[in-house]
Amino acid sequence: MDSNNKIRIFDTTLRDGEQSPGMSMNLKEKIELAKQLERMGVDVIEAGFANSSPGDFQSVKAIADTMKDCAVASLARAGAADIDRAWEAVKGAADPRIHLFIATSDLHMEYKLKMSKDEVLKTAVEMTKRAAGYCPNIQFSAEDATRSDMGFLAKVVKAVIKAGATTINLPDTVGYTTPDEHEAFFAELHRRVPELGNVIASSHCHNDLGLAVANSLAAVRGGARQVECTVNGIGERAGNAALEEIIMALYVRKNLYGIETNVDNTEIMRSSSMLTRITGVKVQPNKAIVGDNAFAHEAGIHQHGVLAKAETYEIMTPASVGLKESNLVLGKHSGKHAFRDRLKDLGYALSDEELAEAFKRFKELADRKKRVYDKDIEALVAKDAMQVPETFTLDKYVINSGNTITSTATVALVKDGKTTETVASGSGPIYASFKAIDKIVGRHLELEDFQIKAITEGEDALGDARVVLKGLEGRTFSGRGLSTDIIESSIKAYINAVNKLYYQEKEA
């Protein structure tokens, strides 16, 4: 068994996470999130499944070409075409990894693969050899490992290690196992295949029974030295093991696990909010570590205790996950230097051009809002970093609304230098504005979700609107708009989602 006390964090937010409904991201968003994952210190980024579509290939390749410090993996079925394509996509990476998989449970082999055990074993070995011919960093996954026959699984694991696999991933594909069972499973496989101690055993848990994190930690006790997880726990069905929960469990209970990771805890909050911003999907308020209420103490007795000594009701500090107090930073008289320095402190490095653009928006905001907080600034630049080409821009809008009339919205948008203005009515000013935009764009767009919230407290708080639109093949596009006027932020969010949809269609 691996006695090393370091766990590698394999992040699959961009693959297992992205393939779940409502989580699709465009190329720019994927690159931006990958940069943040690298900044946070994950060891491996699974950037996608290169042979699943040209778009996926392009994003895996772009991420592989961009990352400097972490390994970049592409998923591949155990077939020549997938493996060759995966290699094409990751070969530019500083540390490329091919991640091939084949199912090993009777159920999957008989009904899904329609292959015998011997055929699966032969394919696994041949394809591992093929992948190992390309690079030394090869991960083999035995899909549905936890429901596989242990004797057969051990045979496959032994054979693929001999064929060149350097990481052996044992997924609980359907979220079926329990912590005690999972620890024993990893320990038993180490007993049956001593060679497993010379490579890295990896866990990949799904959350169907709400046990993904507990099972991942149990796998670590059983000898796993890589844990696969996603930011905010996104992923197929009930999701994957949540990265932030695993990291903080290992950090807070270091006395119990004695395990280290390369992840910087204080980047957790930023990664979580970035993903929320990109997808428009918020975590539930009581979500461990990153939910809005995770560090909120409501009960008087708790508040009293925390004020007297934080540790009475807090097992970790908000700062340890990167949660900062909303602090007053800049105002309308602040200059570009102060703005850039503040951005640096917040961990953003913008190009001169991006900085100039963000500073312009900061000035506009500071004119409308007396106090500009860190959260406002982060919201401004996060938008910058993931900007897609603006097919449509807002020229102006006029709203006529009240509780005794039907709302009307006059909206003017600019496309290719030409301004088009139209009027629409609806049950409220926001609905009327969205209908007017649909008219100009010339298609009816299905609104999947709409949310608005204040970024900071106060009467002049910045309204943060998110719009999720449904495009072709059920893909969703989330747009974001910021303004001190909530109608303007809603209109901007809608236009941003439309622009992403156009960008995606152009990419496709």
For ligand KIV, the binding residues (CB under 6 A) are: 16, 101, 141, 143, 169, 171, 173, 204, 206
Q: Of residues 92-131, which lie at the interface with Zn ion (CB under 5 A)?
A: none
- Structure-token match 């991420």, residue found: 63
Of ligand KIV, Zn ion, none, which one sits near residue 24, judging by CB under 5 to 8 A according to partner kind?
none
Min dist CB 236 to ligand KIV, Å, is 7
Least Å distance, CB 236 to Zn ion, is: 6
* Pick 206 or 270: Cβ nearer ligand KIV: 206
Closest C-alpha among 227, 108, 208 to residue 169: 227
**Look-up: residue for tokens 């992040």?**
11
Q: In sequence order, what are the beta bridge partners of 446?
A: 470
Task: Indicate the residue among 236 and 374 with the shorter CB distance to ligand KIV.
Answer: 236
Our CA angle for 379, 380, 384, nearest 5°, is 110
* Residue 143 interacting entry, from Zn ion, ligand KIV, none, C-beta within 5 to 8 Å by type: ligand KIV
Nearest approach, Cβ of residue 12 and Zn ion (Å): 7
228 is a contact residue toward Zn ion (CB under 5 A): no
The one of Zn ion, ligand KIV, none whose footprint includes residue 476, by CB under 5 to 8 A per kind, is: none
Q: Of 52 and 273, which CB lies nearer to ligand KIV in the complex structure?
A: 52
Residue 16 binds Zn ion (CB under 5 A): yes
Least distance to ligand KIV, CB of residue 119, Å: 19
Q: Give the residue with the Cβ less far from Zn ion, 26 or 203.
A: 203
- Edge-to-edge strand ranges of the sheet holding 418-426: 393-400, 407-415, 418-426
Pick 97 or 369: Cβ nearer ligand KIV:
97
CA distance 124 to 104: 10
The count of residues interacting with Zn ion (CB under 5 A) is 1
What's the min distance (Å) between Cβ of 250 and ligand KIV? 22
Kindly tell me the sign of the dihedral angle through the C-alpha atoms of 27, 321, 225, 187.
negative
As to burial, measured by CB atoms within 10 angstroms (0-12 exposed, 13-18 middle, 19+ buried), residue 290 is: buried
Q: Find residue 101's DSSP bridge partners.
A: 77, 141
- The token duo for 179 is 């912590």
> H or E segment at 432?
helix 429-441
User: Of the ranges 10-18, 99-107, 269-277, 419-427, which one interacts with Zn ion (CB under 5 A)?
Assistant: 10-18
Query: Are the C-beta atoms of 252 and 217 separated by less than 8 Å?
Result: no
Cα–Cα distance for residue pair 257/251, rounded to 1 Å:
9
Interatomic CA distance for residues 342 and 354, integer angstroms? 15
Closer Cβ to ligand KIV, 101 or 185, answer by number: 101
Judged by beta carbon, residue 147 or residue 383, the one nearer ligand KIV is 147
Strands, DSSP E only, in 416-459?
A: 418-426, 446-454
Residue 376 binding Zn ion, by CB under 5 A: no
Phi-psi region of 237 (alpha: psi -120 to 50; beta: other; left: phi over 0): left
Q: Judge contact between 406 and 425, C-beta under 8 A.
A: yes
Partner touching 101 among Zn ion, ligand KIV, none, CB below 5 to 8 Å by kind: ligand KIV
Nearest distance in Å: CB 148, Zn ion? 15
251 membership: H or E segment, kind and range: helix 243-252
| Residue 10 Cβ vs ligand KIV, minimum distance, rounded to whole Å | 10
Closest approach, Cβ 4 to ligand KIV, in A, equals 23
Nearest-approach distance from CB 173 to ligand KIV, in angstroms:
4
Nearer to ligand KIV, 238 or 412 (CB): 238
- Nearer to Zn ion by C-beta: 15 or 369? 15
Q: How far, in Å, CA of 37 to CA of 11, rounded?
A: 8
- Residues lying near Zn ion in the complex (CB under 5 A) are found at 16
